Structure 1
Amino acid sequence: MKYLLKGQETERLKFRLLQQDDFDSWMKLFRAKNVAIFLGLDPTLSEYELCKLWFERGSHRYENDLGGMNVLIEKSTGLVVGQCGLLVQTVEDVERLEVGYSILPEFWGRGFASEGAAKCKNYAFENDLADSLISIIHVDNIVSERVALKNGMALEKKLDSYKGNPVNIFRIDKKNWN
Protein backbone atom coordinates (compact mmCIF):
# COMPACT_ATOMS: atom_id res chain seq x y z
CA MET A 1 0.00 0.00 0.00
CA LYS A 2 3.06 2.26 -0.16
CA TYR A 3 1.97 3.77 -3.48
CA LEU A 4 -1.48 4.89 -2.29
CA LEU A 5 -2.07 8.46 -1.19
CA LYS A 6 -4.86 7.68 1.28
CA GLY A 7 -5.33 10.66 3.62
CA GLN A 8 -3.24 13.05 1.51
CA GLU A 9 -4.56 16.49 0.58
CA THR A 10 -3.92 19.38 -1.76
CA GLU A 11 -5.34 22.89 -1.63
CA ARG A 12 -8.70 21.76 -3.03
CA LEU A 13 -8.63 17.95 -2.88
CA LYS A 14 -8.66 15.06 -0.43
CA PHE A 15 -7.40 11.61 -1.44
CA ARG A 16 -9.06 8.40 -0.26
CA LEU A 17 -9.34 4.81 -1.45
CA LEU A 18 -11.97 3.71 -3.93
CA GLN A 19 -15.04 2.23 -2.25
CA GLN A 20 -17.93 0.18 -3.63
CA ASP A 21 -20.24 3.12 -2.74
CA ASP A 22 -18.46 5.12 -5.47
CA PHE A 23 -19.73 2.83 -8.24
CA ASP A 24 -22.82 4.79 -9.32
CA SER A 25 -21.06 8.15 -9.40
CA TRP A 26 -18.13 6.64 -11.33
CA MET A 27 -20.36 5.19 -14.06
CA LYS A 28 -20.78 8.75 -15.37
CA LEU A 29 -17.20 8.65 -16.62
CA PHE A 30 -17.95 5.89 -19.08
CA ARG A 31 -20.72 7.90 -20.78
CA ALA A 32 -18.13 10.37 -22.11
CA LYS A 33 -16.86 9.95 -25.65
CA ASN A 34 -13.60 7.99 -26.07
CA VAL A 35 -13.03 7.51 -22.32
CA ALA A 36 -13.06 3.70 -22.56
CA ILE A 37 -10.50 3.84 -25.39
CA PHE A 38 -8.32 6.36 -23.53
CA LEU A 39 -8.33 4.09 -20.46
CA GLY A 40 -7.42 1.02 -22.51
CA LEU A 41 -10.83 -0.62 -22.07
CA ASP A 42 -13.10 -2.29 -24.62
CA PRO A 43 -15.45 0.45 -25.94
CA THR A 44 -18.05 -2.15 -26.94
CA LEU A 45 -18.81 -2.90 -23.28
CA SER A 46 -21.74 -1.21 -21.54
CA GLU A 47 -21.20 1.60 -19.03
CA TYR A 48 -21.98 -0.86 -16.26
CA GLU A 49 -19.51 -3.47 -17.59
CA LEU A 50 -16.78 -0.83 -17.99
CA CYS A 51 -17.28 0.46 -14.47
CA LYS A 52 -17.32 -3.08 -13.04
CA LEU A 53 -14.06 -3.86 -14.84
CA TRP A 54 -12.54 -0.57 -13.60
CA PHE A 55 -13.45 -1.45 -10.00
CA GLU A 56 -12.10 -5.00 -10.38
CA ARG A 57 -8.79 -3.68 -11.70
CA GLY A 58 -8.62 -1.15 -8.87
CA SER A 59 -9.24 -3.84 -6.25
CA HIS A 60 -6.60 -6.06 -7.84
CA ARG A 61 -4.05 -3.22 -7.65
CA TYR A 62 -4.89 -2.47 -4.00
CA GLU A 63 -4.68 -6.15 -2.99
CA ASN A 64 -1.36 -6.76 -4.80
CA ASP A 65 0.50 -3.57 -3.83
CA LEU A 66 0.53 -2.34 -7.43
CA GLY A 67 -0.50 1.16 -6.46
CA GLY A 68 -3.88 2.35 -7.58
CA MET A 69 -6.19 5.20 -8.22
CA ASN A 70 -7.25 7.27 -5.24
CA VAL A 71 -10.64 8.93 -5.25
CA LEU A 72 -10.40 12.72 -5.37
CA ILE A 73 -12.89 14.57 -3.17
CA GLU A 74 -13.35 18.31 -3.62
CA LYS A 75 -12.94 19.77 -0.12
CA SER A 76 -15.40 22.63 -0.56
CA THR A 77 -18.30 20.45 -1.75
CA GLY A 78 -17.46 16.92 -0.58
CA LEU A 79 -18.13 15.67 -4.12
CA VAL A 80 -16.20 12.95 -5.92
CA VAL A 81 -14.49 14.74 -8.84
CA GLY A 82 -12.22 11.99 -10.14
CA GLN A 83 -9.38 9.62 -9.42
CA CYS A 84 -5.62 9.98 -9.44
CA GLY A 85 -2.78 7.79 -8.31
CA LEU A 86 0.51 6.00 -8.69
CA LEU A 87 0.33 2.80 -10.72
CA VAL A 88 2.97 0.11 -11.10
CA GLN A 89 3.10 -0.62 -14.84
CA THR A 90 5.22 -2.86 -17.04
CA VAL A 91 6.31 -1.07 -20.21
CA GLU A 92 8.51 -2.97 -22.66
CA ASP A 93 9.33 -5.54 -19.95
CA VAL A 94 10.45 -2.85 -17.48
CA GLU A 95 8.52 -2.09 -14.27
CA ARG A 96 7.80 1.64 -14.00
CA LEU A 97 5.71 3.92 -11.82
CA GLU A 98 2.97 5.87 -13.56
CA VAL A 99 1.03 8.95 -12.52
CA GLY A 100 -2.53 8.25 -13.69
CA TYR A 101 -5.61 10.47 -13.57
CA SER A 102 -9.25 10.39 -14.62
CA ILE A 103 -11.70 13.18 -13.90
CA LEU A 104 -15.49 12.93 -14.11
CA PRO A 105 -16.79 14.87 -17.14
CA GLU A 106 -18.73 17.48 -15.18
CA PHE A 107 -15.45 18.53 -13.51
CA TRP A 108 -13.27 18.70 -16.65
CA GLY A 109 -11.37 21.93 -17.22
CA ARG A 110 -11.08 22.93 -13.55
CA GLY A 111 -7.48 21.84 -12.98
CA PHE A 112 -8.26 18.85 -10.75
CA ALA A 113 -6.18 16.44 -12.87
CA SER A 114 -3.16 18.76 -12.77
CA GLU A 115 -3.51 19.32 -9.03
CA GLY A 116 -3.86 15.60 -8.29
CA ALA A 117 -1.04 14.61 -10.66
CA ALA A 118 1.34 17.13 -9.09
CA LYS A 119 0.55 15.73 -5.63
CA CYS A 120 1.24 12.18 -6.86
CA LYS A 121 4.55 13.23 -8.42
CA ASN A 122 5.66 15.06 -5.28
CA TYR A 123 4.57 12.19 -3.03
CA ALA A 124 6.50 9.64 -5.12
CA PHE A 125 9.70 11.67 -5.18
CA GLU A 126 9.50 12.84 -1.55
CA ASN A 127 9.09 9.22 -0.41
CA ASP A 128 11.79 7.83 -2.77
CA LEU A 129 9.33 5.53 -4.53
CA ALA A 130 11.03 5.95 -7.93
CA ASP A 131 13.85 7.78 -9.70
CA SER A 132 11.49 8.64 -12.55
CA LEU A 133 7.76 8.70 -13.22
CA ILE A 134 5.78 8.26 -16.40
CA SER A 135 2.29 8.91 -17.69
CA ILE A 136 0.98 6.58 -20.39
CA ILE A 137 -1.43 8.51 -22.59
CA HIS A 138 -3.43 7.44 -25.64
CA VAL A 139 -2.12 9.37 -28.67
CA ASP A 140 -5.51 11.04 -29.22
CA ASN A 141 -5.91 12.21 -25.61
CA ILE A 142 -4.51 15.72 -26.02
CA VAL A 143 -6.06 17.01 -22.77
CA SER A 144 -4.22 14.40 -20.70
CA GLU A 145 -1.01 15.20 -22.56
CA ARG A 146 -1.38 18.83 -21.42
CA VAL A 147 -1.69 17.62 -17.81
CA ALA A 148 1.52 15.58 -18.17
CA LEU A 149 3.37 18.57 -19.63
CA LYS A 150 2.08 20.83 -16.86
CA ASN A 151 3.35 18.21 -14.39
CA GLY A 152 6.89 18.77 -15.71
CA MET A 153 6.96 15.69 -17.93
CA ALA A 154 8.37 15.51 -21.44
CA LEU A 155 7.59 13.10 -24.24
CA GLU A 156 9.89 10.10 -23.89
CA LYS A 157 8.58 7.98 -26.78
CA LYS A 158 5.60 6.79 -28.75
CA LEU A 159 4.57 3.14 -28.67
CA ASP A 160 2.48 1.86 -31.54
CA SER A 161 0.88 -0.70 -29.25
CA TYR A 162 0.70 -0.72 -25.46
CA LYS A 163 -2.06 -3.07 -24.35
CA GLY A 164 -3.41 -2.80 -27.87
CA ASN A 165 -3.43 1.00 -28.13
CA PRO A 166 -1.07 3.61 -29.56
CA VAL A 167 0.29 5.67 -26.66
CA ASN A 168 2.75 8.38 -25.84
CA ILE A 169 4.96 7.88 -22.78
CA PHE A 170 5.71 11.07 -20.87
CA ARG A 171 8.45 11.07 -18.23
CA ILE A 172 10.01 13.14 -15.48
CA ASP A 173 13.20 12.22 -13.63
CA LYS A 174 13.62 12.95 -9.96
CA LYS A 175 16.77 14.97 -10.70
CA ASN A 176 14.62 17.36 -12.80
CA TRP A 177 11.80 17.49 -10.27
CA ASN A 178 12.54 20.75 -8.46
Structure 2
Amino acid sequence: MRHPERHTERLWLRQWREEDLDALAEMDADPEVMRYIGDGSPSTRERTTAALARARAAWDERGYGLFAAEEPATGELIGWVGLAVPTFLPEIMPTVEIGWRLRRRSWGRGYATEAAREVLAFAFDEVALDHVVSICHVDNHASTRVMAKLGMTFDRTTRVPAHGQPVQVMSLTREAFRASADGVLPRPPARRPARS
Protein backbone atom coordinates (compact mmCIF):
# COMPACT_ATOMS: atom_id res chain seq x y z
CA MET A 1 0.00 0.00 0.00
CA ARG A 2 1.35 3.42 -0.96
CA HIS A 3 0.99 5.93 1.82
CA PRO A 4 0.41 9.63 1.13
CA GLU A 5 2.74 12.56 1.47
CA ARG A 6 1.71 16.20 1.57
CA HIS A 7 3.50 19.47 0.99
CA THR A 8 2.86 22.87 2.51
CA GLU A 9 4.58 26.13 1.75
CA ARG A 10 7.45 25.34 4.12
CA LEU A 11 7.11 21.67 5.11
CA TRP A 12 7.17 18.16 3.68
CA LEU A 13 4.75 15.86 5.50
CA ARG A 14 6.07 12.42 4.70
CA GLN A 15 6.16 8.83 5.88
CA TRP A 16 8.54 7.69 8.61
CA ARG A 17 12.04 6.32 8.06
CA GLU A 18 14.24 4.31 10.41
CA GLU A 19 16.76 7.16 10.43
CA ASP A 20 14.15 9.48 11.96
CA LEU A 21 14.61 7.79 15.34
CA ASP A 22 17.56 9.91 16.51
CA ALA A 23 15.81 13.25 15.93
CA LEU A 24 12.54 11.93 17.34
CA ALA A 25 14.23 10.54 20.46
CA GLU A 26 16.03 13.85 21.02
CA MET A 27 12.74 15.75 20.76
CA ASP A 28 10.87 13.35 23.07
CA ALA A 29 13.64 13.56 25.68
CA ASP A 30 13.28 17.36 25.94
CA PRO A 31 11.40 18.17 29.18
CA GLU A 32 9.91 21.35 27.69
CA VAL A 33 8.55 19.51 24.64
CA MET A 34 7.03 16.80 26.84
CA ARG A 35 5.78 19.12 29.58
CA TYR A 36 2.12 18.77 28.58
CA ILE A 37 2.27 15.29 27.01
CA GLY A 38 0.96 12.32 28.97
CA ASP A 39 2.08 12.62 32.58
CA GLY A 40 4.61 15.33 31.65
CA SER A 41 7.70 13.12 31.79
CA PRO A 42 10.41 13.13 29.11
CA SER A 43 10.44 9.92 27.08
CA THR A 44 13.20 7.33 26.91
CA ARG A 45 14.74 6.21 23.63
CA GLU A 46 13.10 2.81 24.13
CA ARG A 47 9.63 4.36 24.47
CA THR A 48 10.23 6.55 21.43
CA THR A 49 11.37 3.50 19.43
CA ALA A 50 8.11 1.74 20.30
CA ALA A 51 6.09 4.88 19.48
CA LEU A 52 7.78 5.16 16.08
CA ALA A 53 6.94 1.51 15.31
CA ARG A 54 3.30 2.17 16.25
CA ALA A 55 3.22 5.32 14.12
CA ARG A 56 4.45 3.39 11.09
CA ALA A 57 2.04 0.49 11.66
CA ALA A 58 -0.98 2.77 12.02
CA TRP A 59 -0.83 3.69 8.33
CA ASP A 60 -1.23 0.04 7.32
CA GLU A 61 -3.95 -0.60 9.90
CA ARG A 62 -6.10 2.48 9.32
CA GLY A 63 -5.01 4.23 6.16
CA TYR A 64 -4.07 7.35 8.13
CA GLY A 65 -1.62 8.26 10.85
CA LEU A 66 1.11 10.65 11.90
CA PHE A 67 3.15 12.38 9.22
CA ALA A 68 6.82 13.06 9.84
CA ALA A 69 7.30 16.81 9.37
CA GLU A 70 10.49 17.73 7.56
CA GLU A 71 11.85 21.15 6.77
CA PRO A 72 12.93 20.83 3.11
CA ALA A 73 15.22 23.83 3.36
CA THR A 74 17.39 22.03 5.94
CA GLY A 75 16.40 18.37 5.46
CA GLU A 76 15.73 18.16 9.21
CA LEU A 77 12.90 16.38 10.95
CA ILE A 78 11.14 19.00 13.07
CA GLY A 79 8.46 16.74 14.57
CA TRP A 80 5.15 15.28 13.48
CA VAL A 81 1.57 16.24 12.70
CA GLY A 82 -1.18 13.76 12.03
CA LEU A 83 -4.22 11.69 12.88
CA ALA A 84 -4.62 9.11 15.64
CA VAL A 85 -7.32 7.34 17.62
CA PRO A 86 -7.36 8.80 21.17
CA THR A 87 -8.11 5.59 23.09
CA PHE A 88 -6.52 7.21 26.17
CA LEU A 89 -9.75 9.24 26.55
CA PRO A 90 -12.58 6.68 26.34
CA GLU A 91 -15.39 9.16 27.04
CA ILE A 92 -15.02 10.79 23.61
CA MET A 93 -14.70 7.59 21.60
CA PRO A 94 -15.26 6.77 18.81
CA THR A 95 -13.40 9.64 17.19
CA VAL A 96 -10.18 10.63 15.45
CA GLU A 97 -7.76 13.18 16.87
CA ILE A 98 -5.47 15.58 15.06
CA GLY A 99 -2.30 16.31 17.00
CA TRP A 100 1.21 17.67 16.64
CA ARG A 101 4.56 17.72 18.40
CA LEU A 102 7.48 19.88 17.28
CA ARG A 103 11.05 20.25 18.48
CA ARG A 104 11.54 23.32 20.65
CA ARG A 105 13.62 25.32 18.16
CA SER A 106 10.76 25.10 15.65
CA TRP A 107 8.19 26.61 18.00
CA GLY A 108 6.64 30.01 17.33
CA ARG A 109 7.04 29.88 13.55
CA GLY A 110 3.51 28.85 12.58
CA TYR A 111 4.57 25.35 11.53
CA ALA A 112 1.95 23.52 13.63
CA THR A 113 -0.92 25.54 12.16
CA GLU A 114 0.41 25.28 8.62
CA ALA A 115 0.88 21.51 8.79
CA ALA A 116 -2.35 20.86 10.68
CA ARG A 117 -4.39 22.68 8.02
CA GLU A 118 -2.92 20.35 5.41
CA VAL A 119 -3.60 17.28 7.56
CA LEU A 120 -7.20 18.42 8.12
CA ALA A 121 -7.67 18.68 4.35
CA PHE A 122 -6.35 15.11 4.11
CA ALA A 123 -8.66 13.98 6.93
CA PHE A 124 -11.81 15.44 5.43
CA ASP A 125 -11.13 15.05 1.70
CA GLU A 126 -9.18 11.78 1.46
CA VAL A 127 -9.97 9.85 4.65
CA ALA A 128 -13.56 11.14 4.42
CA LEU A 129 -13.94 11.87 8.12
CA ASP A 130 -16.94 13.93 9.17
CA HIS A 131 -15.45 15.23 12.40
CA VAL A 132 -12.14 15.39 14.26
CA VAL A 133 -11.08 16.45 17.73
CA SER A 134 -7.89 17.81 19.22
CA ILE A 135 -6.87 17.32 22.82
CA CYS A 136 -4.35 19.21 24.93
CA HIS A 137 -3.46 19.87 28.55
CA VAL A 138 -5.53 22.78 29.86
CA ASP A 139 -2.35 24.83 30.46
CA ASN A 140 -0.97 24.25 26.95
CA HIS A 141 -1.98 27.65 25.63
CA ALA A 142 0.19 27.41 22.51
CA SER A 143 -1.71 24.34 21.30
CA THR A 144 -5.03 25.93 22.24
CA ARG A 145 -4.14 28.91 20.02
CA VAL A 146 -3.35 26.58 17.12
CA MET A 147 -6.71 24.86 17.56
CA ALA A 148 -8.49 28.22 17.50
CA LYS A 149 -6.63 29.25 14.32
CA LEU A 150 -7.82 26.00 12.73
CA GLY A 151 -11.44 26.94 13.47
CA MET A 152 -11.90 24.33 16.20
CA THR A 153 -14.45 24.98 18.92
CA PHE A 154 -14.58 24.04 22.58
CA ASP A 155 -16.18 20.69 23.39
CA ARG A 156 -15.26 19.95 27.03
CA THR A 157 -12.65 19.79 29.74
CA THR A 158 -12.04 16.47 31.42
CA ARG A 159 -9.27 14.31 32.89
CA VAL A 160 -7.26 11.51 31.32
CA PRO A 161 -8.05 8.37 33.34
CA ALA A 162 -4.53 6.92 33.22
CA HIS A 163 -2.78 9.83 34.95
CA GLY A 164 -5.43 12.37 35.92
CA GLN A 165 -4.07 15.25 33.82
CA PRO A 166 -6.72 17.89 33.00
CA VAL A 167 -7.28 18.26 29.26
CA GLN A 168 -9.34 20.38 26.92
CA VAL A 169 -11.09 18.80 23.94
CA MET A 170 -11.70 20.91 20.85
CA SER A 171 -13.82 19.86 17.89
CA LEU A 172 -14.12 20.50 14.15
CA THR A 173 -16.55 19.23 11.51
CA ARG A 174 -15.88 18.92 7.81
CA GLU A 175 -18.40 21.68 7.11
CA ALA A 176 -16.81 24.07 9.61
CA PHE A 177 -13.35 23.36 8.20
CA ARG A 178 -14.51 24.10 4.67
CA ALA A 179 -16.14 27.32 5.88
CA SER A 180 -12.94 28.37 7.66
CA ALA A 181 -10.90 27.51 4.57
CA ASP A 182 -13.11 29.99 2.72
CA GLY A 183 -12.30 32.61 5.35
CA VAL A 184 -15.50 32.30 7.37
CA LEU A 185 -14.75 31.00 10.85
CA PRO A 186 -17.64 29.41 12.75
CA ARG A 187 -18.87 31.22 15.85
CA PRO A 188 -17.70 29.31 18.95
CA PRO A 189 -20.47 27.93 21.18
CA ALA A 190 -20.86 29.02 24.79
CA ARG A 191 -18.34 27.27 27.05
CA ARG A 192 -19.62 24.32 28.98
CA PRO A 193 -18.74 24.06 32.67
CA ALA A 194 -15.57 22.12 33.43
CA ARG A 195 -15.82 18.63 34.81
CA SER A 196 -13.98 17.83 38.00
Same fold (TM over 0.5): yes
Structure with the greater alpha carbon radius of gyration: 2
Provide the residue aligned with 2:158 in structure 1.
159
**Displacement after TM superposition at 1:46 (Å):** 5.2
Higher relative contact order (CA 8 A, sep 6+): 1
Give matches, 1:109-120, under 5 Å.
109-120=108-119
Residue segments in structure 1 that go unaligned for 5+ positions in a row: none
Q: Does 1:175 align with 2:175?
A: yes
Q: Secondary structure at the match of 1:36?
A: coil
**Displacement after TM superposition at 1:129 (Å):** 2.1
What do you get for the CA RMSD once the two structures are aligned? 2.4
Quick one: distance in 1 between partners of 2:11 and 2:72? 5
- Structure 1 residue identity aligned to 2:37: L
Decide whether aligned partners of structure 1 residues 170 and 163 sit closer, same or farther in structure 2, where only a CA change above 3 A counts: farther
Deviating more after overlay: 49-58 vs 14-23: 49-58
Deviations 1:97-150 (A, max 9, x none): 111111111111111111111111122122352111110111121111111111
Relative to total residues, which structure has the larger strand share, 1 or 2? 1
The 4+ residue runs of structure 1 with deviation greater than 4 A are none
- Structure 2 residue identity aligned to 1:30: D
Deviating more after overlay: 100-109 vs 31-40: 31-40
TM-score by length of 2: 0.78
TM-score by length of 1: 0.85
The alignment-based identity, stated in percent, is 28
Deviations 1:43-66 (A, max 9, x none): 2x6532342242243234234227
**Displacement after TM superposition at 1:11 (Å):** 0.9
Q: Does 1:49 align with 2:54?
A: no
Residue segments in structure 2 that go unaligned for 5+ positions in a row: 180-196
Give matches, 1:120-131, under 5 Å.
120-127=119-126, 129-131=128-130
Paired residues, what number? 175
